[in-house]
Amino acid sequence: MTTALLRADHISRKLPGDVPVTLIEDVSIDVHPGEFLAITGPSGSGKSSLLYLLGLLDRPTTGHVWLNSTETTDCAEDRLADLRLTHLGFVFQSHFLLPEFTAAENVMLPMQRLGKLSQSEIGTRAVQLLSDLGLHDQVHKLPRQLSGGQSQRVAIARALANDPHIILADEPTGNLDTKSSGIVQDILRSLSHQQGRAVVAVTHDPAFAQKADRLVTIVDGKIA
């Protein structure tokens, strides 16, 4: 067994308040390179909350999250942001593309923030990523000029911009028609199986979940 790229160790997440709400309770999970992991469960069960904890967007109330053997629980916000920038790519149910930027410019944003490539290299890579996802003729279009499926593929290209080891997808096909949904599912599957990336996808689509290598079901914040 390979070393886990991402490890959650007995993590819980409670929202404070007069009546504390438990989102996640004592969940442990390992994600390995090249693995396609699906997280399923009923609405409100805590699937997305678990994904946000794994994606370092939220901090567990108790427990620990390791990314590439780095314990992240006590990291400062800027350090977590740097880890997200270099190791993680996010795809959400809604594409969340910046509306003022073209498809290529959206894909260029994470690379520009990282600042490792020259501007021309960034542009070339953005066009290449979009072409790989069948969007070579949509490069200069604004998000409002793209269909839902095309926008979601731009979002995937953006998630891949800094060549992350792990892709975290939150209901990536939730807003898509059947055909577009199938395309996105195939892309995510190929990212893990052909490119060796770890893909963690939250879904309540059974057909999508069946394509995963491993299935984790969350009920009431716990692994069922």
Partner 1 sequence: MNPLVISIAVKHLLARKRQSVVSLFGIVLGVAFFLTISSLMLGSENDFIRRLVDNTPHINISDEYRNPKQQPAEIAFPSAALDVRSVKPETETRGIRGFVQILDYLHTIDGLKASPVLAGQALVSFAGKDVGISLNGVVPEELNTVSTLHNYMTVGSIEDLIANPDGIIIGTELARVMSLRVGENLNVAATTGQIHTFKIIGLFHTGRASYDEEQTFVTLKRVQALLDRPNRVNTIIIKLNDAYQARDVAAQIEAHVGYKSVSWQEASEDIMSTLMIRNIIMYSVVSAVLVVAAFGIYNIISTVVMEKQRDIAILKSMGFHARDIEWIFVTQGCVLGIAGCAVGLPLGMAMMRAFMGLSFRVPGSSDPISIPMDWSWYQFVIASAFAFAAATLAALLPARKAAHVQPVDILRGGT
Residues binding partner 1 (CB under 8 A): 48-49, 52, 55, 57-58, 77-78, 81-82, 84-86, 90, 92-94, 96, 98-101, 109-110, 112-114, 158, 162, 170-171, 174-175
Report, in Å, the least distance between residue 57 CB and partner 1: 5
Cβ 119 to partner 1 shortest distance, Å: 9
Task: State which residue, 2 or 141, has the beta carbon closest to partner 1.
Answer: 141
Kindly give the pairing relationship between strand 88-91 and strand 166-170: parallel
Q: Which is nearer to partner 1, 18 or 100 (CB)?
A: 100
Nearest approach, Cβ of residue 49 and partner 1 (Å): 8
In angstroms, what is the minimal distance from the CB of 207 to partner 1?
20
The least CB distance from residue 87 to partner 1, in Å, is 9
Backbone angles phi, psi at 130, to 5 degrees: -65, -40
Q: Which is nearer to partner 1, 117 or 213 (CB)?
A: 117
d(Cα 173, Cα 169) in Å, to the nearest integer?
9
Minimal distance in Å, beta carbon 148 to partner 1?
A: 13
- Region of residue 27 (left: phi > 0; alpha: psi -120 to 50; beta: else): beta
| Residue number with CB closer to partner 1 (158 or 165) | 158
Of the candidates 10, 25, 36, 19, the residue with the CA atom closest to the CA atom of residue 188? 36
Among residues 19 and 115, whose Cβ is nearest to partner 1? 115
Q: Work out the angle at residue 8's Cα, subtended by the Cα atoms of residues 7 and 12, and round it to the nearest 5 degrees.
A: 175
Q: 76-100 burial, b for 16+ CB within 10 Å, e for fewer?
A: eeeebeebbbbbbbbbbbebebeee
Question: Judged by CB, which is closer to partner 1: 85, or 209?
Answer: 85
